[in-house]
Structure 1
């Protein structure tokens, strides 16, 4: 017991300061408890100001993590698009070469609906990325989830 007492002994000059801080901590804890009780009686659970402040702090803490996850998602999406383009266009080119070597008529790009649709989607994504990158000052609220994700990246950089 003598050992514990030695750990918490203070210089006599700071004893009054430690006592003041201890009293202030106790007073603030008591005030917090009284406010919490009062708010519980006055406000319904979802409107309690203390709980709302806590929720706001939690959301603020999680926001930066969410932004990072959005960046990772968009990076992964762009990687997927790049790989899909590379593989599909490469495979299509190989099929066309095989068709030509066997003597089968080669399907023209304009006649291939699936390939045209794929190119249209890639072109739309590219246009979308370029337009968002160029409109950093745009404050309009995007409606599409991809717009939201991309806007969060562009506005945070």
Structure 2
């Protein structure tokens, strides 16, 4: 009985060996085809139009895209945080400066007479418009920073 089992075991090994040999041959054949295509493409196409290189670049980009998307979302959040802090600081400092001017009897500078403050507000409005365009908001709502943050958060959460 053990002799018959040993024969089955040897037959099993022969089948596995045959499959391994077949797969090895197939792998070698594919390597030869890959090398021939690579050589042919290098001769036919300029370097930046080589189909094999383009496929490799596309694959690399696809692999990096999720990480890049996450980094962009972090950057957007950080940018909005910076804008919120800048707005709070600048508006607070401006109000303090106007109170100081009034207490000293100096004419208070109007917003329209302060080009730096006007420019700052234009940058903030431009950012708000960009956020609205990305979130599908048409821009007819009030543009306070809390609404902008809600829209940005919505875009980030729904974009994932």
TM-score (ref. length: structure 2): 0.67
CA distance in 1, matches of 2:113, 2:41: 69
- Higher RCO (C-alpha 8 Å, min separation 6): 1
CA distance in 2, matches of 1:75, 1:122: 15
Partner of 2:39: 37
- Which 5+ residue runs of structure 2 have no aligned equivalent? 1-11, 138-151
Partner of 1:83: 85
The question of 1:106 aligning with 2:108 is answered yes
CA distance in 2, matches of 1:87, 1:24: 68
Q: Secondary structure at the match of 1:96?
A: helix
Superposed displacement of residue 133, structure 1: 1.0
Number of corresponding residues: 131
> What RMSD over aligned residues (CA atoms) do the two structures have, in Å?
2.6
Partner of 2:74: 72
CA distance in 1, matches of 2:42, 2:128: 52
Superposed displacement of residue 156, structure 1: 4.1
Structure 1 window deviating more from structure 2 (72-81 vs 85-94): it is 72-81
**1:12-43 alpha-carbon deviations (Å, 9 max, x no partner):** 15222222211211111122122222222333
TM-score (ref. length: structure 1): 0.68
Q: Secondary structure at the match of 1:107?
A: coil
CA distance in 1, matches of 2:53, 2:130: 40
Partner of 1:123: 125
CA change 1:17–1:82 in 2 (3 A) is: same
Q: Secondary structure at the match of 2:108?
A: coil
